[in-house]
C-alpha cells in the first residue's frame, strides 16, 4: 500500500468515524432514557463494531483494539448479562471522547493513560465477566440465546437443566500428543456427561510412509445428549480449545442454534470479523436514503460558480435589452430561468437539518447537569428545519453559550425549584422553525427569568450605563449583550465572567441575524435567534437613487407604490399615514447623502422587518434581481445600514441595504 | 505580517502622489489596475473612495491623496489602482489604493533606507517605514499594513457619524 492510498483510507475513516461517534453519542443518551431498548443497544454495538472493523482496515490499530474492548462490553449488555447504568453510559461517553482524540491525534501516547483508566473502569463494571469477553466477537451473530447466559450465571443453570442434544465437531491440533494429551480421554470425559455417539474421521491420515506417529490426524463428530450445560462441555476442552477447531451446537432445542466457535486462530477470526462487518453494513445503508458524501469545498466551489453564472447572466440580460437582436431576448430569458432554478437547487444542496446540531447539545446538558448538580432535560423541536451549512457551523458556539447560560443562570438548583413550586427537573427547549426567509431558533428555559432591577444595577455598577439612565425594558435586556456584563454572583467555570453573550451577539450580527429576549421573573427566559436561511445568494429588489444602485432583500419587501411627496398623505416629519396606520420612512437620498434632485415621481418601497413596517423613498424600482452576496470585508465591519454588496450586470458594485439595522435607526427619535 | 519576510524582499513599487515619490514593498502588491468605476459606500471616511469589482470580488479602494490630506484631483490616464493584500486586525484583506501614477519596481538596499525624520513630514510617521534615497531623490517607503490601522479607521468613522447624525433623518 502506498502512502497516498493509506492517507486516503485514513481520511475516509476519520470522516466515517466522526459521524459514527456522534451517532453513538446520540444513541447512548437515548439509551440512558430507555435502558431497555434493545434496538438502541444493537445500534451502539453496530457502531462500535464498524469503528473496530474500519479502524483496523485504515491502520488505526489503537482505536480498533480499544473499540474491541468496548464492543465486548456491549455484547454483554446485548445479551442481558450487564445492566445499563448511568455509570456505564458515563464511561462509554468518555470512551467515545477518547476515540475521537485518538482519531484526531494519532500516535499520541500522552492520552494512553486516559484510555487505560477507561478500560479499568470497564473491567470494574463487568467484574468477572470481562475476561470472558475476549472471545465474544465470534458470538455476535447470536441474539440473546439463554444457554449462553448459563455460562456465567448459576441461577440460569437450574432453569435450563433439561436434556439437550449437542453436536460437537472436534478437530484437535496436530501436535496434541506432544502436549501429553490424549484426545480419547476427552471423549471419555464427554461420555461421563451423558450419552454419546461418536464418529471419527480418518480421511486426513496420510499414506503409511508419510505418517508422523507423533501427530494426530483424526477428527471427531460427537453427538452428546446431556442435562449438563454448555459450560461443562467446554470445560472438557479447556486446555486445548485455543488451538483446536471446536464447534459446539445445540441440535434439539427449542432455542435457536447455539454455535460457539472456540477457534482462537487469529487468521480465522480476522476473516470472520470482516465477513460480519460486511453483513452489518448492508442493513445500515438501507436505513438511510441513498446519498453520497461530497466535500464541502466542492459545494462551496459550486455555489461560487453559480454566483459567477448569475452575474454573467445579468450581463447577458443587459446586452439583450440594449441590442435588438432577434431571438437573443428569448435565449437570455431562458437562461435566466435556468440559472434561477440552478441557483435554487445548488443552495438546497448546502442546506442541512438543524437536528444534528441540536442533538450535540444533549451531551452538553447532561454533562452540565452533573457538574452543576441540577437536573435538567433538554427537549428539541423542529430538528428537520434546514439551514445553510455555512451558517450552521457558526451557530454552534452561540448556542453553546446560550444553553450554558440557561443551565447556570436560568435553571435554579433543585431545592429552590421545589420551594418555588416547580418540578425539580428543569427543562430547556431548543426549537427551530421557519419564518419567511429566516429561521427562528428559540432557546427557552423554565428557570428564574431575568430580574430587570438586578440587570440595571449591575450595569450601573460596572459602568456600562450611567446611574440616572432611563432605559426601556428591551434596552435593559439588551444590556446582557454588552461585553463584560454578567449578573452571576459568582464566577463558575461555565459562566459569570461576562464573556459569552457579547460573543453570541457578534456572531449573530455577522450572520445578518438578530436576537430577541423575552423573560418573566420566576417563569423562565426565551432567547430567539433569527437567522437568514442562506447567506450566499438571495432574491433582491434592485432600486436606484441618483446614479447609485442598491439591493433590498426581496424577502423583506412588502409593497411598492408611487410616492408623490404631496399632501395626499398626512405627512409629519418622516412618518406618513398609509391606509390608516403610520409608516415611518427613510429617504435614501437624504440618508445616504446622495447629490442631485429627486425625480418628479419617486417610489416608495415598504419593507417589513420583525413586525415593523419601514418605507424607503427611492428614485426608481428597477426590478427583481438575483443577488450574489459579496462581503464588504473587514474594513467596513462597523458600517451601519449596509449588509454587503453584489455585482451588477455592467460590472459595477451595488450595495445591499441592511433593512434590519435601518429599521432600528429609523425607529430612533429623529 | 512577519518581519523576516519583509526583510528578505527589498524590491519596491514606486508611485506618485503630486510631486512626491512613494514606495511600497512588493510583497504587499497583487496587481496594478487602471481606474475602475467606484461605488461609494455611504457614511464612511472620506479617504475611502468606495468599492470596486476586481474580478468578482468586492474590494475597497482608498484615495491616497485624501489619506495624506492632499487636495483631491480628477483622475487622469496615468491614475492607477494598486491592489494590495495587507493585514488588517491580524487578518489579510485585499484593498486598492488610488494613486496619481505608478512608476517602476526598484531595488533599494536595506542600508540605503533611513529612519524617517521626526518632524517636517506631512504624513504621520507611523505609516512610514523609512526614507529611501536614489539618485538624489527621496522616496518615502510606506508601511502598507498601517494604512488601515483599525483605531484610525474607527475614529474616522465615528467623527463622520457624529457629524451626520443630526442631518440624517431631517
Q: B168: which chain A residues are within 8 Å (Cβ-Cβ)?
A: 590-591, 665
- Quick check: A636 and B164 CB within 8 A? no
How far is the C-alpha of A474 from the C-alpha of A518, rounded, in Å?
9
Instruction: Please say if the pLDDT value at position B94 is more than 80.
Output: yes
pLDDT at A550: 94
The answer to whether position B73 is within a domain reads: yes
- What Å distances lie between residue A324 and A320, A327, A638, CA to CA? 7, 9, 45
A637 band by pLDDT with thresholds 50, 70 and 90:
confident
**Residue A123: which of A185, A72, A175, A196 has the closest Cα?**
A72
Structure ipTM over 0.85, yes or no: no
Q: What is the pLDDT of residue A654?
A: 92
Class of domain A3-137: mainly alpha
Compute the Cα dihedral for A498, A504, A505, A506 and give only its sign. Answer: positive
Check residue A1 and give its pLDDT: 52
- Beta-carbon separation of A640 and B43 below 8 A: yes
The pLDDT tens digits of the residues spanning A196-219 come to 888 888 888 888 888 888 888 888
Domain of residue B125 covers 3-159
Burial class (CB in 10 A: 0-12, 13-18, 19+), A637: middle
CA distance B114 to chain A (A): 31
**Smallest Cα distance from B111 to chain A, Å:** 34
Class of domain A353-532: alpha beta
Contact check, Cβ <8 Å, B53/A666? no
Range A296-350 has CATH code 1.10.287 = yes
Which of A573, A633, A666 would you mutate first to test chain B, the one with the most B CBs within 10 A?
A633
Residue of B nearest to A586 (CA): B169
Please indicate whether, in this complex, the C-beta atoms of A639 and B41 are within 8 angstroms of each other. yes
Q: Which residue of A has its CA nearest to B57?
A: A630
The pLDDT-based confidence of A573 (bands split at 50, 70, 90) is: low
DSSP A611: T
Q: How many domains does chain B have?
A: 1
Residue B166: inside a domain: no
Around Cβ A203, how many Cβ atoms within 10 Å? 7
The residues of chain A that CATH labels 1.20.120.160 are 3-137
Q: Which of residues 632-651 of A touch B (CB under 8 A)?
A: 632-636, 638-642, 645, 647, 651
The residue in chain B having the minimum alpha-carbon distance to the alpha carbon of residue A631 is: B58
Residue A402, helix vs strand vs coil: helix
Taking CB atoms and an 8 Å cutoff, what residues of chain A touch B37?
651-652
Higher pLDDT, A229 or A274: A229
Kindly report the average pLDDT of chain A as a whole number. Answer: 77
**Fold held by A537-667:** SH3 type barrels. (2.30.30)
Q: What is the mean pLDDT of residues A79-95?
A: 84
Q: Is residue B64 part of a domain?
A: yes
Q: Is A523 on the interface with B (CB under 8 A)?
A: no
Q: What is the DSSP letter of A489?
A: S
Give me the residue from B42, B88, B154 closest to A592, CB to CB: B42
| A655:B60 CB<8 A | no
Query: How much is the average pLDDT of A48-66?
Result: 82
**pLDDT one-digit tens code per residue, A518-569:** 888 888 889 999 887 776 677 889 999 988 899 998 888 888 888 876 544 4
What is the pLDDT at residue A441?
Answer: 92
> Is B43 domain-assigned?
yes
What integer pLDDT is reported at residue A640 of this predicted model? 79
In which band, very low, low, confident or very high, does the pLDDT at A252 lie, cut at 50, 70 and 90? low
* B167 belongs to a structural domain: no
Which member of B93, B154, B167 has the closest CB to residue A638?
Answer: B154
Residue A113 reports pLDDT greater than 70: yes
Cα radius of gyration rounded to whole Å, chain A: 35
A574 touches chain B (CB under 8 A): yes
Q: Is A632 close to B56, i.e. CB distance below 8 A? A: no
Which of A590, A631, A636 is nearest residue B41 as measured by Cβ atoms? A636
Residue A360 confidence (pLDDT) above 60: yes
Q: Across the interface, do B52 and A647 touch by the CB < 8 Å criterion?
A: no
- Ranking A237-241, A325-329, B86-90, B164-168 by mean pLDDT, the lowest is B164-168
What pLDDT is stored for residue B81 in this prediction? 94
- CATH 3.30.565.10-classified regions of chain A: 353-532
**Cα first-last separation, chain A:** 73
| pLDDT, tens only, B65-74 | 988 888 888 8
Residues of B in contact with A653 (CB under 8 A): 39, 50-53, 58
Out of 3.50.50.60, 3.90.700.10, 3.30.70.1110, 3.40.50.12140, the CATH code matching A146-283 is 3.30.70.1110
Tens of pLDDT, residues A265-300: 444 343 443 344 443 334 444 455 677 878 888 888
Q: Is B38 a domain residue?
A: yes
Show residues of chain A in contact with B55, CB under 8 Å.
none
Indicate whether A465 pLDDT > 50: yes
Q: Give B113's Cβ-side CA count (13 Å radius).
A: 19
Chain A segment 307-346 residues within 8 A of B by beta carbon are: 307-308, 311
What CATH number corresponds to the domain at position B140?
2.40.50.180
What single DSSP character describes residue B90? T
pLDDT of residue A334: 92
3-state secondary structure of A453: helix
Contacts of A593 in chain B (CB under 8 A): 42-43, 164, 167
Per DSSP, the three-state class of A288 is coil
Which residue does chain B place closest to A645, by CA atoms? Answer: B58
Give CA A607 to chain center in angstroms. Answer: 36
Residue A496 has pLDDT above 50, yes or no: no
Q: What pLDDT does A288 receive?
A: 55
Nearest beta carbon to residue B53 from set A632, A652, A665: A652
* Residues of A in Cβ contact (< 8 Å) with B89: 634
Distance of alpha carbon A642 from alpha carbon A621, whole angstroms: 18
Q: What is the mean pLDDT of residues A435-442?
A: 81
Q: How far is A334 from chain B (nearest CA, A)?
A: 24
Question: Averaged over A73-80, what is the pLDDT?
Answer: 82
- Which tens digits make up the pLDDT trace of A150-194? 344 444 444 444 677 888 888 888 888 777 777 887 788 788 777
Distance, in Å, from the CA atom of A228 to the CA atom of B49, rounded to the nearest integer, reads: 94
Q: Looking at chain A, which residues constitute the CATH 2.30.30.40 domain(s)?
A: 537-667
- For B2-27, what is each residue's pLDDT tens digit? 444 444 578 899 999 988 899 999 98
Amino acid at each position: 500500500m502506498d502512502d497516498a492510498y493509506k492517507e486516503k483510507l485514513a481520511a475516509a475513516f476519520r470522516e466515517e468515524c466522526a459521524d459514527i461517534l456522534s451517532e453513538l453519542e446520540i444513541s447512548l443518551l437515548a439509551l440512558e432514557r430507555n435502558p431497555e431498548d434493545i434496538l438502541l443497544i444493537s445500534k451502539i454495538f453496530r457502531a462500535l463494531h464498524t469503528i473496530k472493523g474500519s479502524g483496523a482496515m485504515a491502520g488505526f490499530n489503537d482505536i480498533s483494539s480499544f473499540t474491541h474492548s468496548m464492543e465486548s462490553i456491549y455484547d454483554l449488555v446485548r445479551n442481558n448479562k450487564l445492566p445499563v447504568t448511568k455509570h456505564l453510559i458515563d464511561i462509554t461517553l468518555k470512551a467515545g471522547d477518547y476515540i475521537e482524540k485518538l482519531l484526531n491525534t494519532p500516535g499520541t501516547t500522552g492520552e494512553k493513560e486516559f484510555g487505560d483508566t477507561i478500560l479499568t473502569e470497564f473491567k470494574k463494571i463487568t467484574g468477572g465477566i470481562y475476561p470472558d469477553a475476549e472471545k465474544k466477537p465470534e458470538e455476535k451473530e447470536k441474539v440473546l440465546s439463554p444457554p449462553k447466559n448459563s455460562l456465567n450465571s448459576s441461577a440460569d443453570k437450574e432453569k435450563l437443566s433439561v436434556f439437550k442434544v449437542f453436536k460437537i465437531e472436534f478437530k484437535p491440533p496436530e501436535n496434541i500428543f506432544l502436549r501429553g494429551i490424549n484426545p480419547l480421554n476427552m471423549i471419555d470425559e464427554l461420555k461421563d456427561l451423558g450419552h454419546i455417539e461418536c464418529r471419527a474421521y480418518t480421511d486426513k491420515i496420510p499414506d503409511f510412509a508419510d505418517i508422523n506417529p507423533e501427530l494426530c490426524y483424526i477428527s471427531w463428530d460427537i453427538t452428546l445428549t446431556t442435562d449438563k450445560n454448555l459450560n461443562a462441555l467446554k470445560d472438557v476442552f479447556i486446555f486445548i480449545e485455543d488451538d483446536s477447531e471446536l464447534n459446539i451446537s445445540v441440535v434439539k432445542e427449542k432455542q435457536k442454534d447455539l454455535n460457539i466457535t472456540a477457534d482462537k486462530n487469529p487468521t480465522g477470526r480476522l476473516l470472520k470479523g470482516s465477513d460480519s462487518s460486511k453483513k452489518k453494513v448492508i442493513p445500515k445503508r438501507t436505513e438511510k436514503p441513498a446519498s453520497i458524501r461530497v466535500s464541502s469545498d466542492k459545494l462551496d466551489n459550486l455555489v461560487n460558480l453559480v454566483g459567477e453564472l448569475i452575474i454573467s447572466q445579468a450581463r447577458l440580460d443587459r446586452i439583450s435589452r440594449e441590442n435588438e437582436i432577434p431571438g437573443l431576448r428569448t435565449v437570455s430569458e431562458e437562461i435566466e430561468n435556468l440559472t434561477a432554478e440552478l441557483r435554487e437547487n445548488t443552495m438546497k444542496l448546502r442546506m442541512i437539518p438543524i437536528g444534528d446540531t441540536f442533538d450535540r447539545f444533549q451531551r452538553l446538558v447532561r454533562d452540565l447537569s452533573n457538574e452543576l448538580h441540577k437536573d435538567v432535560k433538554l427537549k428539541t423541536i423542529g430538528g428537520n428545519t434546514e439551514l445553510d451549512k455555512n451558517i450552521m457551523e457558526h451557530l454552534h458556539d452561540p448556542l453553546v453559550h446560550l444553553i450554558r447560560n440557561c443551565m447556570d443562570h436560568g435553571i435554579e438548583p433543585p431545592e429552590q425549584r421545589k420551594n418555588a413550586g416547580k418540578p425539580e427537573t428543569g427543562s430547556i427547549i431548543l426549537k427551530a422553525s421557519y419564518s419567511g426567509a429566516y429561521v427562528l431558533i428559540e432557546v427557552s428555559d423554565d428557570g428564574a427569568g431575568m430580574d430587570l432591577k438586578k440587570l440595571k444595577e449591575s450595569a450601573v455598577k460596572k459602568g456600562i450605563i450611567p446611574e440616572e439612565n432611563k432605559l426601556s425594558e428591551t434596552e435593559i435586556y439588551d444590556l446582557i449583550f454588552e461585553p463584560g456584563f454578567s449578573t452571576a454572583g459568582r464566577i463558575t467555570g461555565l459562566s459569570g465572567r461576562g464573556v459569552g453573550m457579547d460573543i453570541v451577539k457578534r456572531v449573530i450580527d455577522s450572520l445578518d441575524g438578530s436576537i430577541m429576549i423575552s423573560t418573566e421573573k420566576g417563569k423562565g427566559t426565551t432567547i430567539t435567534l433569527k437567522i437568514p436561511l442562506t447567506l450566499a445568494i438571495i432574491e433582491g429588489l434592485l432600486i436606484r437613487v441618483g446614479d447609485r444602485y442598491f439591493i433590498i432583500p426581496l424577502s423583506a419587501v412588502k409593497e411598492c407604490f408611487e410616492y408623490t411627496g404631496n399632501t395626499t398623505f398626512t405627512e409629519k416629519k418622516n412618518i406618513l399615514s398609509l391606509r390608516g396606520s403610520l409608516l415611518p420612512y427613510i429617504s435614501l437620498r437624504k440618508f445616504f447623502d446622495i447629490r442631485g434632485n429627486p425625480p418628479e415621481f419617486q417610489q416608495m418601497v415598504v419593507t417589513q422587518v420583525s413586525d415593523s413596517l419601514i418605507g424607503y423613498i427611492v428614485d426608481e424600482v428597477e426590478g427583481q434581481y438575483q443577488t450574489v452576496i459579496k462581503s464588504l470585508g473587514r474594513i467596513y465591519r462597523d458600517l451601519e445600514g449596509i449588509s454587503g454588496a453584489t455585482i451588477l450586470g455592467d460590472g459595477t458594485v451595488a450595495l445591499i441595504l441592511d433593512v434590519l439595522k435601518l429599521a432600528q435607526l429609523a425607529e430612533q427619535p429623529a | 505580517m512577519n518581519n523576516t519576510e519583509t526583510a528578505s524582499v527589498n524590491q519596491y513599487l514606486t508611485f506618485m502622489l503630486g510631486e512626491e515619490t512613494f514606495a511600497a514593498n512588493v510583497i504587499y502588491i497583487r496587481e496594478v489596475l487602471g481606474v475602475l468605476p467606484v461605488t461609494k459606500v455611504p457614511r464612511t471616511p472620506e479617504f475611502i473612495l468606495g468599492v470596486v469589482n476586481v474580478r468578482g470580488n468586492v474590494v475597497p479602494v482608498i484615495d491616497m491623496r485624501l489619506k495624506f490630506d492632499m487636495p483631491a484631483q480628477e483622475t487622469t490616464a496615468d491614475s492607477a489602482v494598486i491592489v494590495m493584500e495587507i493585514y488588517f486586525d491580524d487578518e489579510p484583506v485585499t484593498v486598492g489604493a488610488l494613486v496619481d501614477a505608478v512608476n517602476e519596481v526598484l531595488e533599494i538596499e536595506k542600508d540605503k533606507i533611513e529612519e524617517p525624520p521626526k518632524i517636517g513630514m506631512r504624513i504621520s510617521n507611523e505609516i512610514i517605514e523609512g526614507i529611501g534615497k536614489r539618485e538624489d531623490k527621496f522616496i518615502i517607503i510606506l508601511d502598507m499594513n498601517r494604512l488601515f490601522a483599525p483605531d484610525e479607521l474607527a475614529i474616522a468613522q465615528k467623527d463622520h457619524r457624529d457629524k451626520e447624525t443630526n442631518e440624517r433623518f431631517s
